Structures are given as structure tokens and as C-alpha cells.
Amino acid sequence: MATLAPIHAHAAPQGFIRKYIFSLDHKIIGLQYYFLALAAVFVGMFLSLLMRIHLIWPTAVLPWIGEIKPETYLSLLTMHGTIMVFFVLTTAPQSGFGNYFLPLQIGAPDMAFPVLNMLSFWTTFVAFVVLIAAFFVSGGAPLHGWTGYAPLSALNNSGPGEQLGADLWITSIAIFCIASLMGALNFITTTLDLRAKGMTMMRMPLTCWAWFVTAVLGLLAFGVLLSAGILLLLDRNLGTSFYVPLVSVNGQLMGHRGASPLLWQHLFWFFGHPEVYIAILPGMGVTSQVLSTFSRKPIFGYKAMVYAIMAIGFLGFVVWGHHMFMSGMSPYSAFAFSIMTMLIGVPSAIKTFNWLGTIHNGRVRFHTPMLYAIGFVSLFVSGGLSGPFLAQPVLDIPLHDTYFVVGHFHLIMGVAAIFGIFAATYYWFPKMFGRMMNETLGRVHFVITLIGTYAIFMPMHYLGMAGQTRRYSQFTEVAYMTRLIPLQTFMTYAAFITIGAQVIFLFNLFWSMFKGPKASDNPWEATTLEWTTATPPPHDNFGGRTPVVHHGPYEYSVPGAAKDYVMQTDPAGVTAH
């Protein structure tokens, strides 16, 4: 039988550049992705803060930024959305924690293709730099929204920021597509080929399943976004007519004819819907992991959870039309998309009830990671429930492009997925840095963030039903919207407090890295493979030895076992699994 030696077999690197800059070690690469996402989220939050300030005080002149004109507001929301969706939600949960912990949790010494891994991070980094550069070129950042609808995005004279800024935006996204595809390739090959002996697919932690299905989604979706972006660049710069029909700008007939802006919508949303599942699935995996660990109970219905992840992934590819109910599509198509969208509620509900079943009757330990995991469940329900509303074409007609939609996706992506990142951070911090984060600061951060985000985003459902339109920079000119300004003001103050509370997290994160109390190898008494190795893990993860797995991932409170947890590598015989 062949040896299970590490196949890439590179020695631990020497020198700062090889160790920390162009590292091939998945743990360093995971941290690089994480810190890139951390920088991006603060840029994105700053942009949202400017937006919220402008909505309440539209004529305010801010220091250094000056007055925010309507077109500037549109640029802010475009860049806010793009940065958050791509460089935070697609980066931290999957590329950040996935890179760090997938090999550890399956018992592998590294990812399948370490050089490709390193390249995929630096390509993502280049994409981020190109995107930020859009702020600094003449004309500034684009204003066509993160969804980049044509023909606004496809004409380079359609508005300020739509010249070089929009080209940089598209280029950045195209580069990001390639980086994501490289990463997805690595995740899938690693999961299929590098599992340790005894680590069958059905013994993998749910985090690994989530990363695997997310990688499959990314593999199939990002190619389509790349083609959409290339067609957009051609329309903008080389005079083709993929998206731009016969239009005139400022009275001047542009040379395009015969195209369809709907093509962009189809291509974009064929990517865009799997993208939002890419953003949420890793958080679901982490929630399952954390809830089980801190309830001292196996995850309720492990197999159902696996099938639910796969169902969500598959169904995510057949619902893109629900973003296009207002595009003039046939009602029969709308009906089909609507049914499939509501169908996604089934595996989502299975997961939610199974999470509750996991906590029920458990001996719950309310450490900070657990608080965030419970918060994830709460926010997933709150944000998810407005989905079936929007899935009805009849209801979507008045609610499309209102704050109802904004509230829906922010609760799910902007809060629940972020809570998944927080849960993962507090949970895995001891393993990554060898120290514990401060519990008190963690709890304060949790309480303020939970209440604050609910305060910001729940009222948006009411605003949407009242008819408040999204992407409007000012409400003072529209009579029926001025009545809603007090609620907007409340949301802005809630945003101030919530964003301020993130400083607590930042402080806790960096202070604990250097001054936190030292952590043992397995401070949470968890069962999965990353907790069997040293803290932080050595270069080849398991100190030259290959783990052999005898148990499933969530064997807590096993009757007859000596302790209330059985690690995956413990000798067989304690339970039959």
C-alpha cells in the first residue's frame, strides 16, 4: 500500500518573503485572505457610513470629502456593494477560513496545489487594488450599482465615473473571477483527493461540506461572470453591441444597435444568485460546527444537513430569474422561477430546524462563538423569511428596488454571513494564534452588533412596503418619502453605534494576538481534526504524522464514553460509526 506521505513535500520555508509574503502554506494564505477581507470590510463600512450620513443630511459638507452629490452617492453604493460582496463575503468565509481549516479538518498536510493557492491570493489582491484605483482616476468610481446593469454600465459616456472607473471595475471583477476559479479548483481537488485515512466524505465536518459545495458553485458560476464582463468591456471600448441597443446619449445617436440589456441581466444573475449562496454556505457550516461543539451534542441530522447543503447549492442555479421579475419576462417563466425559489426554503428550513434540534436539551456553553452562531440562526431566519415574499412575482412588483429588498439581503448577507465570520474568528482564533480572545469584549461586541444590526435593517422592510425606493440619494424632494425620514434618522444613528462597536472587535482581535492568555491545543474540547494538532499548527499540520480517523465529526456526549467528547482520531470502539 502506498505511503501517505505529503506529496508536495516542501520543507518549511526560510526567510521573511517565503514565509509570509509568497507563502505556499495554506495557513498563511488563509490569514492573508482574512486580513485582506478585514481591510476591505472597513473600507466598505466607511462607504456605507457616508451613505447613511448623506441620506439624513443631504447638504452636509464633510471634511476632506466635501459635499456628496447624487452621482457620488451612486458611486458610494456601487463600490460599497462590490467591495462587500466580492472582497468580504466571498473572501473571508471561503478563501480565508476555508484555506486555513479545510486541510486541517480533513487531515491533509496542505491544499492540493499550494503554488496555485498562493497565486490565487495574490490575484485576488491585485483585483482589490484595481478596484480601489477606480476611486482615484479621473471621473472617479462607477455609479452603475454592484449589479452593473447595461446600458448604463455599457456606455462610457453615460455618467461620471463611467469612463476609466467603470473599466477598472470590470477589470477588477474579471481578475477576481480568475482568482476565484483557481481557489475553487484547489478546494474541490483537496476535498476529493487529500482526505486522511478513515476520513470518508460522510465523516467530514459540515464546514468541509459547506466549503466543498461553495467551491462547486463558484466553479460553475464565475466563468459566466467572466464572459459577461468581457462582453461588457467589448461594448464599452470596441463598439460591439452585445448589451446596448439603439440608444442616443444627450441627443447623440450611439453606434450600437440590435442588442439586449437583458443579456447582461441573465448572465449576471446566473452568476449572482449562486454568488449569494457562496456568501452564506460557509457561515452555515461554521454555525453547525459551533452549535454542536458548544451544545455538547452531535449536530441534529448530519445526513440531512449534508443533503440540504447540496440541495441549496443545486437549486441556487435555477432561480436567477427571481432578480428579473420586473424585466418584462413571460409570467410563465416568472412562475417557474418563483416555484424553484420557494423550494429553496425547504432545505433552508431543514437546516434551521436541525440547528434548533442541536441546541435543544444540550448542555450549552455560552462562549462568544456560540453567541454568534445563535445570532446567525436568528438573522438567517429574519433575513431569509423575507425571501419567499420577494419570490412571489405579484409581491415583487411593488417591492422590487425598494428598501424591502435592501433589508432582506443585508440581514442575510450583511449580518448573518458576517456573524458566521465572527463565529469562526472567535472559535478558531485560539488555533490560529495560540491565544484566547477576551470573552467580555466579545460579549459586548456581540450584544451591540446584534441589536444594532437589527435596528438598522429591520425597519427597512417597513420602509420598502411604504414605497421608499433604493439607490435614491435624497428623500427631501419627494413628498410621500419625507414622512419616513425620522425612521431613516434612527437607522443612521444605529449605524453609527454599530460601526463604532466594530472597533471593540478590532481591538480584541489584535490585542489578543499578542497579549491574550495562552490557549491549549483544544480549549473548546472539540472533536474535529484541527484540534488534535499543536496550537498553532506546525508547517505540515500534523508534525510529520498522518491522522487516522475512526469517528464522525460530532461525537459529543456519547453514552459510555469517558469524556463528553470523542475526538475523530480516538481509537475505534467507543461508538459504532
Partner 1 sequence: MASLGPTVTVSVPEAGHGGGSTPPHYGGDGGGPGDGYPDYGRRLRRARLGLAVALAPILMFFVSLVSAAIVRRGLPTFDGTTNTYMHDWIPVDLPFALLLFNTGLLAASSLSAEFARRQITRQAALAPVRSIPGVSLGRETGVPWLYLTVLLGAGFLAGQWRAWQELAARGFYLATNASSSFVYLLTAAHAVHLAGGAVVLLYAAVVSLFHKPIEARRIVVDVTAWYWHFIFLLWVAILALLWLLR
Of 236 and 322, CB closest to partner 1: 236
Alpha carbons 385 and 342: distance in angstroms, whole number: 11
Quickly count: other Cβ atoms within 10 Å of residue 253's Cβ: 10
Residue 469: beta bridge partners?
402
Size of the site for partner 1 (CB under 8 A): 67
x/- map, 143-182, partner 1, by CB under 8 A: --------------------------------------x-
571 binds partner 1 per the rule CB under 8 A: yes
267 binds partner 1 per the rule CB under 8 A: yes
Quickly count: other Cβ atoms within 10 Å of residue 521's Cβ: 14
Residue 189 Cβ vs partner 1, minimum distance, rounded to whole Å: 5
Stretch binding partner 1 (CB under 8 A), from 52-60, 386-394, 412-420, 530-538: 530-538
Residue 409 Cβ vs partner 1, minimum distance, rounded to whole Å: 24
x/- map, 532-561, partner 1, by CB under 8 A: xx------x-xxxxxxxxx-----------
What is each CA distance from 142 to 85, 135, 302, 361, 533, in whole angstroms?
Answer: 16, 8, 45, 52, 47
Of 73 and 531, CB closest to partner 1: 531
Residue 572 Cβ vs partner 1, minimum distance, rounded to whole Å: 9
365 binds partner 1 per the rule CB under 8 A: no
Residue 474 Cβ vs partner 1, minimum distance, rounded to whole Å: 34
**DSSP strand pairing (248-249 vs 252-253):** antiparallel
Provide the residue type at 112 as one letter: A
Output the nine-digit C-alpha cell for 60. 452636509
**Main-chain dihedrals φ then ψ at residue 249, nearest 5 degrees:** -115, 120
Of 404 and 531, CB closest to partner 1: 531
Stretch binding partner 1 (CB under 8 A), from 122-130, 190-198, 284-292, 501-509: 190-198
Quickly count: other Cβ atoms within 10 Å of residue 1's Cβ: 4
x/- map, 246-265, partner 1, by CB under 8 A: x--------x-xxxx--x--
x/- map, 90-129, partner 1, by CB under 8 A: ----------------------xx----------------
270 binds partner 1 per the rule CB under 8 A: yes
Q: Are 99 and 111 in contact (CB under 8 A)?
A: yes
Of 230 and 485, CB closest to partner 1: 230
**What one-character-per-residue DSSP string does 175-200 give?**
HHHHHHHHHHHHHHHHHHH-PPBT--
SS3 content of the chain, % helix, strand, coil (to 5): 65, 5, 35
Alpha carbons 237 and 166: distance in angstroms, whole number: 11
Of 297 and 550, CB closest to partner 1: 550
What is each CA distance from 14 to 6, 18, 26, 120, 269, in whole angstroms?
Answer: 19, 6, 16, 22, 45
441 binds partner 1 per the rule CB under 8 A: no
Quickly count: other Cβ atoms within 10 Å of residue 68's Cβ: 23
Of 321 and 464, CB closest to partner 1: 321
Which of 79, 104, 152, 224 is in the footprint of partner 1 by CB under 8 A?
224
**What one-character-per-residue DSSP string does 450-471 give?**
HHHHHHHHTHHHHHHHTTPBTT
Residues lying near partner 1 in the complex (CB under 8 A) are found at: 1-7, 9-11, 112-113, 181, 184-185, 188-189, 192-193, 197, 219-224, 226-228, 230-231, 234, 238-242, 245-246, 255, 257-260, 263, 267, 270, 520-522, 531-533, 540, 542-550, 567, 569-571
